[in-house]
Amino acid sequence: MIRKATLADTKDIHQLLLGFAKNGLVLPRSLAEIYEAIRDFHVDEVDGQVVGVVALSLYWEDLAEVRSLAVHSDFGGRGIGRALVEACVAEARALGLKQLFALTYQPEFFGRLGFEPVEKADLPQKIWRDCMKCAKFPDCDELAFIFEL
């Protein structure tokens, strides 16, 4: 069941993202950062357990990022990642956004969802807000994708 996250989900979100961050698949997010951004998150819950997570992070009046996408390995291949991204797309449309972007190591996944590759330099808001603080900057190997709403 995909739903908006609640404060009660914060520690589960943190634990799920922590495993992905340790493997370099998502940027680490502290528990405090997750509490601050809890309204950005959607979760997928199976039998009371958070098994998937994604955040829609606003950048500007017409731009947002799909970030912190993670699905527990026991639940991969079931369409949970797709459903989570689709929840972000629906929310972005409801907000009147024009574009979504994602930085990813999974280009095929985002391509199947209609995201198109772009240069990271085309996303200056992301670079100045987040990338400058990242340990991988300026040698980031993630690929940038954009989705036109």
Residue 128: its pLDDT value, please?
A: 47
pLDDT (tens digit, 9 = 90+) per residue, 111-140?
Answer: 999 999 998 778 755 554 555 455 565 666
Question: Three-state DSSP class for 64?
Answer: strand
- 23 alpha-carbon distance from chain centroid: 16
Rounded to 5 degrees, φ, ψ at 95 are -80, -10
Whole-angstrom CA distances from 81 to 9, 125, 129, 131, 137 are 18, 25, 25, 24, 26
* Residue range of the domain that includes 36: 2-148
The residue whose two tokens read 């991969």 is 76
Write down the pLDDT at residue 121. Answer: 78
- Which CATH number covers residue 141? 3.40.630.30
Could you give the number of structural domains in the chain?
1
Residue 90 banded pLDDT, cuts 50, 70, 90? very high
Q: Are 100 and 146 in contact (CB under 8 A)?
A: yes
Question: Residue 50 corresponds to which amino acid?
Answer: V
Specify the pTM: 0.89
144 within 8 A of 123, measured Cβ to Cβ: yes
